């Protein structure tokens, strides 16, 4: 039977429990989930690409059917290169939906066979974003129940620099 693979793209700066929730649920549906980490972003990034890849690998090491791959290209092209035609995206709040409509149509414009499918983020993580986590941590707030332990350690160390 043909393998059902999917790509979960993002900047993961850093990966949060919200992302991990989506990844874990996706691994139960797909044979392999490629976590595609974007090298660049319009947002200012705190962690280097290598650090984001490393942290993502560490916090997903218990999952056997995932791959973590960095990319510096259109996600539609990356998907083609890896012969995958499903993109996974998470939806948290209404504004995500508006942004996702744009992304989905643009990706389909570039690659008409590329489908996007959406997971509702579990409600306990629906208020998390990587930027908010970084901001709260920067001012000394406790984000330990929003991100994995190893990410919390890396974030604390990064902020001290
Ligand atoms: N739980 C917690 N946080 C979540 C989440 C979830 N389930 N889903 C999304 N988020 C957060 C992310 O951490 C991120 O937070 P931040 O803005 O504070 O950093 C925010 O929501 C937005 O996430 P996302 O929409 O995944 O954006 P992104 O910047 O992480 O990733 C790419 C966007 C990389 C997927 C997209 O820009 C891309 O494909 N780039 C490649 C170039 C390309 O093809 N461009 C054309 C696209 S049509």
How far apart CA 137 and CA 140 sit, in angstroms, is 5
**Residue 88, pLDDT score:** 98
Whether 61 is catalytic is no
SS3 labels along 86-118: EEEEEECCHHHHHHHHHHHHHHHHHCCCCEEEE
**Residues contacting residue 91 through CB under 8 Å, at least 6 positions apart:** 97, 100, 118, 119, 120, 121
Is the distance from the beta carbon of residue 43 to the nearest atom of ligand 1 less than 6 Å?
Answer: yes
> How far, in Å, CA of 61 to CA of 159, rounded?
25
Angle at 101 between CA 97 and CA 103, to 5 degrees: 115
pLDDT at 126 exceeding the cut of 90: yes
- Give all strands of the β-sheet with 66-71 in edge-to-edge order: 66-71, 32-38, 5-10, 86-91, 115-120
Q: What is the CATH number of domain 5-159?
A: 3.40.50.620
- Assess contact for 137 and 156: CB atoms under 8 A: yes
CB hemisphere CA count around 128 (13 angstroms): 26
Q: How far is CA 35 from CA 1, 20, 69, in A?
A: 23, 11, 6
Atom of ligand 1 nearest to the CA of 16: 2
Annotated binding site for substrate: 11, 43, 75, 89
pTM of the model: 0.95
The model's pLDDT over 32-86, given as tens digits with 9 standing for 90+, comes to: 999 999 999 999 999 999 999 999 999 999 999 999 999 999 999 999 999 999 9
Q: Which residues of 46-76 are buried (b: 16+ CB within 10 A; e: fewer)?
A: bbebebbbebbeebbeeeeebebeebeeebb
**What per-residue confidence (pLDDT) applies to 34?**
98
pLDDT digits (tens, 9 = 90+) for 98-116: 999 999 999 999 999 999 9
Look up 130 and say whether it is catalytic: yes
To the query of whether residue 111 is one of the catalytic residues in this protein, the response is no
Per-residue confidence (pLDDT) for residue 2, from 0 to 100: 78
- 157 CA → ligand 1 middle, Å: 24
Task: Give yes or no for a contact between 11 and 52, defined as CB atoms under 8 angstroms apart.
Answer: yes
Helix (H, G, I), strand (E, B) or coil at 66: strand
- Greater confidence (26 vs 160) lies with 26
């Amino acid at each position: 039977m043909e393998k059902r693979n999917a790509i979960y793209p993002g900047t993961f700066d850093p990966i949060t429990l919200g992302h991990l929730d989506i990844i874990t649920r996706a691994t139960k549906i797909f044979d392999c989930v490629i976590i595609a980490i974007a090298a660049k972003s319009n947002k200012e990034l705190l962690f280097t690409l290598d650090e984001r890849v490393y942290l993502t690998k560490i916090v997903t090491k218990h999952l056997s059917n995932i791959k973590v791959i960095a990319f510096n290209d259109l996600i539609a092209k990356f998907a083609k290169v890896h012969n995958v035609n499903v993109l996974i995206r998470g939806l948290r709040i209404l504004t995500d939906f508006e942004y996702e409509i744009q992304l989905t149509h643009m990706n389909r414009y570039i690659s008409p066979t590329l489908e996007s499918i959406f997971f509702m983020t579990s409600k306990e993580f629906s208020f998390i974003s990587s930027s908010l986590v970084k901001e709260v941590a920067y001012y000394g707030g406790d984000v330990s129940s929003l991100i994995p332990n190893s990410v919390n350690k890396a974030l604390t160390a990064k902020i001290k620099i």
